Every structure is written in C-alpha cells, then in structure tokens.
A and B are shown apart, each in its own frame.
Chain A
Amino acid sequence: METLARLAFWLVVAPLLPGLINRVKARLAGRKGPPVWQLYSDLARLWRKGVVLSRAASPGFVLAPAVAWVAVVGAAWLMPLGPAGGPVHFAGDVILVVYLLALARFATAWSAMETGSSFEGMGAAREVSFAVLGEAALLTGLLALSVRSGQTHLEGMLAGSAGAGAVLLGAALFVVLLAENSRVPFDDPNTHLELTMIHEVMVLDHSGPLLAAVLHGAAVKLLLFAVLLVEAVLPLGEWSPGAAAAGLAAGVLAVTVGVGLVESLMARLAFRRVPLLLTTAFLLSVFALLVAWRGGVS
C-alpha cells in the first residue's frame, strides 16, 4: 500500500515540474504561457496515438524506452521522501540509485542508435560524454554526504544537515541537475536544431506511447534530482514531520523556479565550455568533501 502511494506520488507529481518551469519562463518573457498541467495533456494525447516504427529498428527500439522508464521510476522509488523516509534502506542503496540512472541513460542511448540516424547517434555521444563528467560530480557529492553523516544508505545520508559544505554541495548538485536533465546552460529543451541538441535529438524518432514514456521518465528524473538537492542541503531529518514535508515541497518549488530563472537569464553554453562547467561542479563537490572530512576529524 505504501509502495503504491510512493509510486503514485512520483508518477503524478513529476509532470508538474516542466509545466512550472515553462510557466516561470513565460512570465519572465511577458507571455501568459501554457497551463501548468500541459505535460499531463501531452502525455494523454501521446498515449492515444499510434507508433511509427522504422524498418531498420530491432525490437530493442520499443524495449529500451520501457527499460529506461522503469529504471528511472525505480531509482525515484528508492529515494527517501522527507518525513516519510525511504521504502527500504540498506547499505549502499545510493550506488543502486546512481546505477539505475546510468542504466536509463544507456537504454536511451541504445534506442537512439536503433534507427541508424546520424543525428541521434551524435546526440547519444554527447549525452554519454557529458554524463561521464556529471557522474563524477554526483558521486563525489554523495561521497561528501556519506563522509559527513558516516552512513552509506540514502535515508541516513540525507537526514542531517550538510553543515558548512552545504553551499558548495548545493551549487554542485544544481549544476549536475541542469546537466543530467539537459536544461539550459547545457542544452535547450525548446530548440529543435539537431546540431545543438542533446537529449531532444535522441528521441526524434520516438512517437506515441514510446515518446510519452521518454517524456514522463525525464520529468521523474527532474523531480528525483530536485528532491535529492533539497534533502542534501536542508536538515529535514531534524525537523518535525510537518515542517519537513513543507520544507521539501518549498525546496522543490524553489529549485524548479531556479531552473526557470536560469533558463530565462542565461544562454546555452558553447559546447567546448561545457566540460569546464562540469569540472567546476566536480571541484565544488571535491571541496564539499574536503569540508566534510576536515569537519569530521578536527
């Protein structure tokens, strides 16, 4: 029962975030913008449509988006949710979350190459090469959390406060969030120019329910990273359940608005500058780790 409630939370709330980001962007540009629940309507529309399959594609083309969606939702299910805690916790579940995300990325890249389109191959190459740098930053940040709390399961790591390194860690995780979800300084989710896209270009040949699975998976991933960022920075475990739930909701909302602001105020980075930004995120994580380590010893 609790499992179902958790899954329902992730599945139902997630499509709200892209809607909120778009609303923030529209407001800043002086437009009215699409309704906040636009993605729900899009998903419903895509679900009713048929699928166009390339003759070159193997059954993997249909299988991979499903694998990616299940992996992302599984990773999200493992995340502790503020006062409710995690569904299960065991030592090293944090590694499982990171690897489920990696599996989802592998599956997306796989289905992108199934149709043999050169653009999609290019997008897959970009996605995977940026992910190498982003994953280093993410794992180092998680290591900092683990060193500070002295625990290796998500619920224990995310309960306490991040201490002095919270600012560094928050900045690093925010950059990782932007990179992993292909938001603006790395990729522009609105553009449809194949030469500059990363994530969008990988799903050009998907249609109908397959595209719906990809879009919904992306929304769940965005919510996952927002929750991770908020729980890593705020000491939710030390607050009363009501305050923790309110803090989590407010934090996720703040992160979403922050993403919208970044998208409105910044231009996409030139490709050759992307590794520099991701390296900066990695170094921020390293320094958060250093602060956690020093704080623990002295």
Chain B
Amino acid sequence: MSETVNVLVGVVMGLNLLALASSRLPLLIRTVSWQGVLLGVMPLLLEGAHADWRLVGMAAATVLGKGVLIPALLRRAMRAARIDREVEPLLGYVPSLLLGAAGTVAAVALGRGLPLLPEHARSLLVPGALASVLTGFVLLTGRVKAISQVCGYLILENGIYLFGLLLLGSTPLLVESGILLDVTVSVFVIGIIVDRIQRAFDSMDTRKLTILRE
C-alpha cells in the first residue's frame, strides 16, 4: 500500500515540475487540479480497509473541491477578466525548473535525515510535502499574474495537506474540511478581486500594486 502512495507522491512531484515549466495558464490550472485530485485520493489509500464514511466523504469533497470547483472558479475569473493565456515569468522557466528540481532532490535527501516515526521513514510523504511547499514559493514569487500566484498558493496548500496526511489518525477531519473550505472561499474571493483589478487598472500585473493611496 505504501508503495502505491510513494508512486503517487512521485507523480505529485512531477506535477510540481510541470507547473513550474508550463507557460500557459490553462495548463497550469489543469496541473494544479490534477495534483489536488491525487491528494484527495491519497487518504483512502493510506487507510485502506479502515476508511469510514467520514473519511470517504472528506476525500470526495477534496476531489470535487480541488479537481472541479477551484479550477472552474479560476477559469471563470480568467474568462471574465479576459486575461491573456501567457504566464509571464519573472524568473525564467529553465531557472525555476532547475530550482524546483534541486528543491525536490534536497527534500528527498533531507527527508532521510529527519527524525521521523519508523513507519514514516520509508514513505515519500515528507519529501513530497517539502518539495510542494518549495514549488509553491517559487511560483508565488516568480510569476507576475495573480492567477499563477493563486496556483502557487494552491500548490503550497497541497504541500501542507501532504504533511497533514502523516497525522491522519490523530487530526480531526473537521480541521481538514475547514482548510478545504477556507481554500475554496479564498480562491472564490481572489477570482472576484482579479475581476475588479482588471476593471480598475486594465491590467493583471501585480507589480503595479505596490503603492497604497487614499
């Protein structure tokens, strides 16, 4: 069972790199939504036969929220604000890809040195979480458009979710579902903000949002 999860975490790491290399917003959104779906399925695999109806409900909510609802909101915001599909990186694709890969390798190497519980020692969950958080940071700081920054934020949240999977037995599912709700609402709000910024300034460039005026 843990082998399947490790392969899935490997795919999640691959999706991180795809998100860093993608030059089109729709591809970026699709990558992030696939990552969310994979993460949503993971608790079921980890628990296996012990999954009760709450866990199944939580997994279904995650898959629907991250795989369908959030991408739909982002696409709607893109359409409403008529945003160009190009990503416009501050940090080029090749440097961000190399940075993300170096981060992933470092996370895997570091994961072996951490004092983890013996049952987590062979699992890739912690390296995957660290790599996703790092990818999220690179996307947040290295991209100009608000939509790609939202995607970076979502990948960051996916990394934190991966950490949460380690504590699946001890955290109440209420916390997980609360986080999911928060993320959905914030993406919804950002979708509206993007639309407003577009109407007010004719541009989605966050570099122009540096001065606060009355």
Contacts and interface: CB of A to CB of B under 8 A. Distances in A.
B97 A276 contact: yes
A290 B108 contact: yes
Given A283-B17, A298-B122, A276 B93 contact: yes
Contact of A290 (B17, B94, B97, B105): B105
A278 to B, nearest CB: 9
B101 interface: yes
B21 interface: yes
Contacts of B101: 283, 286-287
B108 A275 contact: no
Interface residues on B, range: 10 to 19
Interface residues of A, number: 10
B96 to A, nearest CB: 10
Contacts of B98: 279, 283
Contact of B94 (A275, A286, A287, A298): A275
A283 B97 contact: yes
Specify the main secondary structure of chain B where it touches its partner. helix
Contacts of B21: 276, 280
Interface in A266-298: 275-276, 279-280, 283, 286-287, 290, 294, 298
Contacts, number: 23
A279 B122 CA distance: 29
Contacts of A276: 21, 93-94, 97
A191 B97 CA distance: 31
A279 B95 CA distance: 10
A204 B21 CA distance: 35
Contacts of B94: 275-276, 279
A294 B17 contact: no
B77 to A, nearest CB: 27
Interface in B79-115: 93-94, 97-98, 101, 104-105, 108
B108 A280 contact: no
Contacts of B108: 290, 294
A279 B104 CA distance: 15
Interface in A14-66: none
B21, B98, B101, B108: most-surrounded residue (chain A CB, <10 A):
B101
A280 B105 contact: no
A275 B105 CA distance: 21
A287 B108 CA distance: 11
Contacts of B105: 286, 290
A42 B101 CA distance: 45
Contacts of A286: 101, 105
A276 B108 CA distance: 23
B17, B94, B98: most-surrounded residue (chain A CB, <10 A):
B94
Interface string A222-249: 0000000000000000000000000000
A283 B105 CA distance: 10
Nearest to A283: B101
Contacts of A298: 122
Nearest to B104: A287
Contacts of B17: 280, 283
A298 B109 CA distance: 13
B3 to A, nearest CB: 9
Contacts of B104: 287
Given A290-B105, A290-B108, A294-B108, A280 B122 contact: no
A280 B17 CA distance: 9
Contacts of B97: 276, 279-280, 283
A298 B118 CA distance: 13
Interface string A156-181: 00000000000000000000000000
Interface in B175-194: none
Nearest to A278: B94
A13 to B, nearest CB: 36
Contacts of A294: 108
15 contacts: A276-B21, A276-B93, A276-B97, A279-B94, A279-B97, A279-B98, A280-B21, A280-B97, A283-B17, A283-B101, A286-B101, A286-B105, A287-B101, A290-B105, A294-B108
What are the nearest 4 A-B pairs in CB distance?
Answer: A283-B101, A279-B94, A276-B93, A276-B94
Interface of A: 275-276, 279-280, 283, 286-287, 290, 294, 298
Interface of B: 17, 21, 93-94, 97-98, 101, 104-105, 108, 122
Given A283-B98, A286-B101, A286-B105, 6 more contacts: A283-B17, A283-B101, A287-B101, A290-B108, A294-B108, A298-B122
